[in-house]
């Protein structure tokens, strides 16, 4: 379990998970992968995955603190009637996935530039042209039936595309990307590398030259090796939290 360097732990449920999620929000903003006060991250905190933490409605990622995060239940039909109700599209998309796909514990949805450019192409596949791209070989799905904002019906439609636990990224045609993971660290690391992979591919296309594409065999081998690489996600997030702590950030408050 990752630990923030800040001292006293408040008596708030799921505190360590809140701290890690808050750190992910802060660093996503620092990387410029957020979009104004839109986009959402969530983390399931009970065994069946229906109770989850999510960012408050229209709060900038760079200001989110651990204590700000909402705890909601995907099976509660009155969620949008709460005085602190989440954004309705966050409820639609994240609620749908947490309710229908409990194998995906953490969800990060962003409109980051290069992933969104990929989602806008007629062919939104990500060929394995380098090691980062190979990470996602056979491990994503493409949503080609965008139907407008991710309110409840649209969110449930998207969730149906994530029934396979081996597919941990959804390239959302016309929309952006939804990344899943077992933990905050796992999900953030995957989101980071997917954006880097998409950037490499988009920039390679811009050269107009032929692409050097790995064979399916080598791409799958590389993906498996990276999946088994020890503690990459945990160490990545731990380092980011250490930087935030050294800067005196209030994310863990």
DSSP of 76-144, one letter per residue? -TTGGGSTTPPPHHHHHHHHHHHHH-TT--EEEEE--HHHHHHHHSSS------SHHHHTTTT-EEEE-
Is residue 21 in a domain?
yes
Is residue 7 in a domain?
no
Is residue 3 in a domain?
no
The predicted structure's pLDDT at residue 154: 84
pLDDT confidence band for 11 (50 / 70 / 90): confident
Q: How far is CA 164 from the centre of its chain?
A: 17
pTM: 0.94
The predicted structure's pLDDT at residue 97: 96
Is residue 117 in a domain?
yes
Is residue 1 in a domain?
no
Q: Tens of pLDDT along 214-244?
A: 999 999 999 999 999 989 999 999 999 999 9
Residues 83-111: b if buried by 16+ CB within 10 A, e if exposed: eebbbbbbbbbbbbbbbbbbebbbbbbbb
Whether the pLDDT of residue 4 is over 80: the answer is no
**Residues spanned by the domain of 237:** 15-246
The predicted structure's pLDDT at residue 145: 87
pLDDT confidence band for 149 (50 / 70 / 90): confident
For 71-75, the CB contacts below 8 A with 24+ separation are 71/13, 71/14, 71/45, 74/49, 74/50, 74/98, 74/99, 75/50, 75/99
Is residue 10 in a domain?
no
The predicted structure's pLDDT at residue 192: 98
Is residue 160 in a domain?
yes
Q: CA 70, CA 55: separation in Å to the nearest integer?
A: 6
Is residue 168 in a domain?
yes
The CATH number assigned to the domain holding 214 equals 3.40.225.10
Whether the pLDDT of residue 183 is over 90: the answer is yes
Q: Total structural domains in the chain?
A: 1
The predicted structure's pLDDT at residue 3: 60
> Which tokens go with 108?
């990060």
Whether the pLDDT of residue 118 is over 80: the answer is yes
């Amino acid at each position: 379990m990752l630990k923030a360097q800040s001292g006293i732990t408040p008596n708030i449920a799921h505190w360590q998970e809140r701290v890690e999620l808050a750190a992910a929000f802060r660093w996503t903003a620092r990387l410029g992968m957020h979009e104004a006060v839109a986009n959402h991250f969530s983390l399931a905190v009970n065994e069946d995955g229906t109770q989850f933490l999510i960012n408050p409605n229209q709060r900038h990622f760079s200001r989110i603190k651990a204590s700000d995060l909402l705890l909601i239940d995907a099976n509660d039909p009155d969620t949008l009637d709460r005085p602190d109700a989440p954004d309705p599209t966050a409820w639609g998309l994240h609620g749908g996935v947490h309710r229908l796909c409990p194998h995906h514990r953490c969800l990060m949805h962003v409109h980051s530039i290069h992933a969104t450019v990929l989602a806008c192409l007629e062919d939104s596949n990500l060929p394995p042209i380098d090691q980062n791209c190979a990470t996602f070989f056979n491990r994503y799905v493409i949503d080609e039936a965008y139907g407008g904002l991710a309110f409840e019906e649209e969110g449930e439609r998207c969730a149906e595309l994530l029934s396979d636990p081996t597919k941990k990224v959804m390239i959302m045609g016309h929309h952006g990307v939804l990344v899943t993971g077992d933990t905050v660290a796992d999900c953030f690391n995957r989101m980071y590398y997917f954006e880097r992979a998409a950037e490499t591919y988009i920039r390679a296309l811009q050269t107009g030259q032929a692409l050097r594409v790995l064979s399916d065999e080598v791409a799958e081998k590389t993906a498996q090796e990276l999946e088994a690489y020890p503690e990459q996600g945990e160490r990545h997030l731990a380092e980011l939290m250490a930087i935030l702590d050294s800067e005196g950030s209030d994310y863990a408050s």
